[in-house]
């Protein structure tokens, strides 16, 4: 029997998991991307692109799969919630689809960081810390900074610009990472950044800016992660996720992700 695996991706971990498992005997791997950015980095193997149409659409799609790994970004709340709900109850054919969350750990909060729980709070805190703000929270959340940071000098970096009317003094940089420490140092010096606002994404790919901010004495406002959906087992890295899939494939039963 071939185990049909759906990877919910859009992250380096999603691509690495596909690369690790694609082509293995007894596995058929399909990666799913949201289609939210132009020219996405594609995983190896079969790829589908675009939303499923909410929980109902995802459940219809799951008829063609045996197991799901949710490797979406730690802040991709909608997809993670939908996956948890779609897999929580049996499909019309009677099968309950096992779901594993693959989420890299967040960065430990450092002394001096301004840790906040949401973007509205981040905007207010950032506004009080300095006039020159560098925002790296992505396009979806930028609108939540407009009001508090109107009148500030703001540089917001993201892959794709949002459709927003920007206040005077705001600038969008559309560019795709990862960025080296030299890149981040040059950018923060060029814009004389006083405050950095970011999400606690974790991992190494976006960490250079945190190290450079500390080096340059830039205040860091860090938005904490949304809570994980209850009842979904989670692993912190690609190796553990691949091992879970292989064990599930070999035993034809749901493996324990902690063993």
**What residues make contact with ligand NAP under the rule CB under 6 A?**
8-11, 32-34, 36, 51-54, 57-58, 72-73, 75-79, 82, 138, 140
Shortest gap between Cβ of 255 and ligand NAP (angstroms)?
A: 23
In the bound state with ligand NAP, the residue whose beta carbon lies nearer, of 79 and 127, is: 79
Residue nearest ligand NAP by beta-carbon distance: 51
For residues 192 and 52, give the distance between their C-alpha atoms in angstroms, rounded to a whole number: 43
Which residues pair with residue 154 across a beta bridge? 133, 170
Shortest gap between Cβ of 215 and ligand NAP (angstroms)?
A: 25
In the bound state with ligand NAP, the residue whose beta carbon lies nearer, of 160 and 250, is: 160
In the bound state with ligand NAP, the residue whose beta carbon lies nearer, of 4 and 150, is: 4
In the bound state with ligand NAP, the residue whose beta carbon lies nearer, of 133 and 142, is: 142
The residue behind tokens 């309950």 is 96
Distance of CA 226 to CAs 22, 106, 148, 256, Å? 30, 11, 22, 24
Shortest gap between Cβ of 76 and ligand NAP (angstroms)?
A: 3
Shortest gap between Cβ of 223 and ligand NAP (angstroms)?
A: 10
In the bound state with ligand NAP, the residue whose beta carbon lies nearer, of 60 and 132, is: 60
In the bound state with ligand NAP, the residue whose beta carbon lies nearer, of 205 and 250, is: 205
Shortest gap between Cβ of 250 and ligand NAP (angstroms)?
A: 26
In the bound state with ligand NAP, the residue whose beta carbon lies nearer, of 58 and 148, is: 58
Shortest gap between Cβ of 36 and ligand NAP (angstroms)?
A: 5
Shortest gap between Cβ of 214 and ligand NAP (angstroms)?
A: 22
């Amino acid at each position: 029997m071939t185990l049909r695996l759906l990877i919910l991706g859009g992250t380096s971990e999603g691509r690495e998991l596909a690369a690790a498992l694609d082509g293995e005997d007894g596995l058929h791997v399909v990666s799913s991307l949201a289609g939210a950015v132009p020219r996405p980095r594609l995983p190896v193997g079969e790829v589908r692109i675009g939303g499923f149409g909410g929980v109902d659409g995802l459940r219809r799609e799951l008829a063609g799969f045996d197991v799901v790994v949710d490797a979406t970004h730690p802040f991709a709340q909608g997809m993670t919630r939908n996956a948890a709900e779609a897999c929580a109850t049996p499909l019309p054919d009677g099968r309950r689809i096992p779901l594993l969350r693959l989420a890299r750990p967040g960065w430990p909060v450092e002394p001096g960081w301004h840790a906040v729980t949401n973007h509205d709070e981040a905007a207010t805190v950032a506004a009080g810390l300095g006039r020159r703000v560098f925002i790296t929270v992505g396009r979806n959340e930028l609108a939540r900074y407009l009001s508090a940071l109107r009148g500030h000098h703001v540089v917001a970096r993201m892959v794709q610009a949002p459709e927003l009317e920007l206040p005077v003094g705001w600038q969008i940089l559309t560019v795709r990472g990862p960025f080296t420490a030299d890149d981040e140092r040059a950018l923060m010096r060029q814009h004389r950044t006083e405050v950095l606002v970011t999400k606690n994404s974790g991992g190494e790919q976006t960490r250079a800016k945190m190290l450079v901010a500390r080096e340059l004495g830039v205040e860091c406002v860090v938005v904490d992660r949304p809570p994980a959906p209850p009842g979904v087992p989670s692993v912190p890295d690609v190796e553990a996720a691949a091992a879970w899939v292989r064990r599930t494939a070999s035993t034809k039963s749901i493996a324990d992700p902690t063993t």
